[in-house]
Amino acid sequence: MCTAAEEKFLCDLVASYEASVGRPFPVGLQQEQHLGSRLMGADIGLLAHDAADDPHFVFANAAAAAAFGYAPDEMIGMPSRYSAAPGADRDARAGLFSRLSRLGFVEGYSGRRVRKDGSTFWIEDATIWNVVDAPGRRIGQAALLPLRDVRTAGR
């Protein structure tokens, strides 16, 4: 069960996706469960971090956490930089963040990531977007990781 603050962030996350990408959020959102419960059990990976200078994860659903080798609770509060592989292409990441800043979202992102045990794996075809609150302030970023790609073994 999510706290009120977590539920608000997740509502902003879904609304930001729909506003930026221009499509309905791709996770079935039945009304009988709290949003956090629905997103936690989704069959697509979902991660989000705050908007701090050194961002920390504020949400990781079960599918995404499993791909990284963690339980969802273990990822909360962890610096998101720990999930990126060392030596990742800095120019490609700079381009990603430039497009993200300009457009509000990026589709088709691929990158090497690090599991808890230190092994690496690739995410492919991810969608990343800025999470904004009702007044329009950026409060974080989120990523949808297609399950087929989240489960891809290290390459």
Residue 118: what pLDDT?
92
DSSP string, 8-65: HHHHHHHHHHHHHHSS--SS---TTS-HHHHHHT-SSEEEEEESSSS-BEEEE-HHHH
Fold of 4-150: Beta-Lactamase (3.30.450)
Q: Which of 126, 127, 123 is nearest to 154 (CA)?
A: 123
Cβ distance 121 to 152 under 8 Å? yes
Residue 74: what pLDDT?
96
Residue 76: what pLDDT?
95
Residue 49: what pLDDT?
96
Residue 32: what pLDDT?
52
Residue 26: what pLDDT?
86
Distance CA 32, CA 152 (A): 32
Residue 150: what pLDDT?
44
* Domain-wise residue ranges, the chain: 4-150
- State which residues of the chain have pLDDT below 70: 1-3, 28-33, 88-90, 147-155
